[in-house]
């Protein structure tokens, strides 16, 4: 490593590495943020305001984490598992969903600072973690499809999205070193330009609503079914956050890892509380940070400070956010498809690396929860109307049902039936 965790590079490298982390964090933040903003409203002013709040919270959370939280070079962004929960909660209302995120963040913060997660690392076996990663990709498939095809008129959006994903795969394969981190950013800018050349550029003149005219946050609405559904969403978020901290910490041979885990997960919980309060999707540490560090040779946590400040500052410039909100739906869908494909790849690689499927029974532990999640994700909404209202957010959520199934199989039904790999974390 050119720079260690606590090294402070000279000014020029410091700013350049900070710019690189900003570029790495931007695509996922924009993609997940725009997709979530469009769940709330079709009005550009509402979407822009949503993105402004999201940029500010993620930027501040990044800065606090590297200075006072886990103090590791980890990029932060919206949690895809919470997007799954928000999509399913459309029927019960977004206020109920953000209430669940607020209280989920509060519980996570208390559990994090108290050290509970340090003691529970053995629970997250490779099979459970891999299935959770794959389930997120599977259960977001209907959302990706809706982004790409829109109202279903014409074959062009689907053909364009598939060709764009293929181009992203080729670009990522050809690029070397730190340049790989630019793949999604290149796809975002190039894909939007090419799509608009074919279908026309959006009309200008977006109206920027005054902050006073839009809600700053959510109203507390307690919906038992929604709260229960988000319990499992936060279970996946905990796995993601804990895994990311562990991966980078062990890679850099960081000292006092237990302390870093306690502080890091506690701060992530506080960040989710703030997100729920202001009515935006909550953040999580991203595991891709290890790859960026390996490619650049810079592990200095201080280089993420200008990146975090830069993200927060973006929240005060609605004109910049407007350009991001205007990205066409098929482009966003193609980018999300590519990102979920990489997540699916990570999940499959984990199964292979940890030798998690060794016989028929271990294959069932992985395969059946995935099929359950996929079927529920594509099931018609009318199917779930027969269930009690309190249970609908749970039984209609493919991710939650799949997670429940793999936990039940791994630690219950098939606990002693096959080779159970040791805890991952």
3-state SS record for the chain: CCECCCCCCCHHHHHHHHHHHHHHHHHHHHHHHHHHHHHHCCCHHHHHHHHHHHHHHHHHHHHHHHHHCCCCCCCEEECHHHHHHHHHHHHCCHHHHHHHHHHHHHHHHHHHHHCHHHHCHHHCCHHHHHHHHHHHHHHCHHHHHHHHHCCCCCCHHHHHHHHHHHHHHHHHHHCCHHHHHHHHHHHHHHHHHHHHHHHCCCCCCCCCCCHHHCCCCCCCCCCHHHHHHHHHHHHHHHHHHHHHHHHHHHHCCCCCHHHHHHHHHHHHHHHHHHHHHHCCCCEEECCCHHHHHHHHCECCHHHHHHHHHHHHHHCCCHHHHHHHHCCCHHHHHHHHHHHHHHHHHHHHHHHHHCCCCCCHHHHHHHHHHHHHHHHHHHCCHHHHHHCCCCCHHHHCCHHHHHHHHHHHHHHHHCCCCCCCCCCCC
Cβ-contact 188, 32 below 8 angstroms: no
Return d(Cα 254, Cα 87) in angstroms, integer: 37
Widest CA span in the chain: 64
Helix 126-139 and helix 141-149, axial crossing angle in degrees, nearest 10: 20
Average pLDDT, integer, range 297-312: 90
Return d(Cα 210, Cα 43) in angstroms, integer: 14
Average pLDDT, integer, range 135-139: 83
pLDDT of 211: 46
pLDDT band at 207 (very low <50, low <70, confident <90, very high): very low
pLDDT of 141: 87
Is the pLDDT at 423 greater than 70? The verdict is no
Return d(Cα 333, Cα 330) in angstroms, integer: 5
Cβ-contact 141, 375 below 8 angstroms: no
Residues paired with residue 76 on neighbouring β-strands, in sequence order: 285
Cβ-contact 302, 8 below 8 angstroms: yes
pLDDT band at 417 (very low <50, low <70, confident <90, very high): low
- Predicted TM-score (pTM) of this structure: 0.74
For residue 205, report the phi and psi dihedrals to the nearest 5 degrees: 85, 35
How crowded is residue 264: how many other Cβ atoms within 10 Å of its Cβ?
27
Is the pLDDT at 296 greater than 60? The verdict is yes
Residue 184, CA atoms < 13 Å, CB-side half-sphere = 24
Give domain limits for the chain: 11-413
pLDDT of 390: 65
Return d(Cα 425, Cα 246) in angstroms, integer: 7
Is the pLDDT at 212 greater than 50? The verdict is no
Average pLDDT, integer, range 335-344: 82
Return d(Cα 396, Cα 398) in angstroms, integer: 6
Average predicted confidence (pLDDT) for the chain:
83
Return d(Cα 146, Cα 171) in angstroms, integer: 25
Helix 318-325 and helix 11-40, axial crossing angle in degrees, nearest 10: 60
């Amino acid at each position: 490593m050119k720079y260690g965790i606590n090294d402070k590079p000279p000014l020029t490298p410091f700013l350049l590495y900070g710019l690189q982390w900003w570029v790495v964090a931007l695509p996922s933040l924009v993609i997940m943020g725009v997709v979530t903003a469009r769940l709330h409203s079709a009005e550009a002013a509402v979407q822009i305001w949503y993105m402004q709040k999201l940029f500010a919270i993620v930027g501040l959370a990044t800065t606090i984490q590297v200075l006072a939280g886990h103090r590791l070079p980890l990029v932060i962004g919206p949690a895809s598992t919470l997007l799954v929960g928000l999509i399913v909660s459309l029927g019960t209302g977004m206020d109920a969903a953000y209430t669940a995120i607020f209280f989920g963040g509060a519980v996570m913060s208390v559990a994090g600072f108290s050290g509970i997660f340090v003691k529970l690392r053995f629970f997250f076996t490779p099979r459970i973690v891999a299935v959770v990663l794959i389930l997120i990709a599977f259960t977001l498939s209907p959302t990706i499809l809706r982004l790409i095809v829109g109202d279903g008129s014409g074959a062009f959006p689907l053909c364009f999205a598939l060709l764009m994903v293929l181009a992203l795969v080729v670009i990522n394969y050809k690029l070397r070193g730190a340049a790989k981190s630019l793949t999604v950013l290149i796809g975002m800018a190039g894909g939007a330009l090419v799509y608009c050349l074919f279908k026309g550029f959006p009309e200008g003149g977006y109206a920027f609503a005054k902050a006073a005219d839009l809600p700053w946050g959510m109203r507390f609405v307690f919906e038992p079914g929604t709260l229960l559904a988000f319990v499992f969403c936060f279970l996946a978020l905990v796995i993601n956050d804990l895994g990311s901290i562990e991966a980078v910490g062990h890679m850099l041979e960081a000292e006092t890892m237990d302390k870093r885990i306690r502080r890091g997960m506690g701060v992530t919980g506080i960040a989710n509380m703030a997100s729920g309060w202001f009515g935006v999707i909550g953040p999580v540490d991203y595991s891709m940070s290890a790859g960026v560090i390996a490619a650049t040779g810079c592990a200095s946590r201080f280089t993420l400070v200008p990146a975090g400040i830069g993200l927060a500052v973006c929240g005060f410039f609605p004109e910049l956010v407007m350009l991001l909100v205007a990205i066409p739906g098929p482009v966003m869908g193609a980018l999300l498809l590519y990102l979920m494909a990489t997540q699916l790849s990570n999940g499959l690689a984990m199964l292979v690396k940890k030798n998690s499927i060794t016989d028929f029974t271990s294959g069932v532990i992985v395969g059946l929860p995935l099929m359950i999640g996929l079927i529920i994700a594509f099931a018609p909404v009318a199917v779930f109307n027969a269930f009690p209202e309190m249970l609908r957010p749970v039984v209609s959520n493919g991710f939650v049902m799949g997670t429940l199934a793999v936990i039940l199989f791994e630690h219950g039904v098939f606990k002693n039936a096959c080779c159970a790999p040791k805890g991952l974390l």
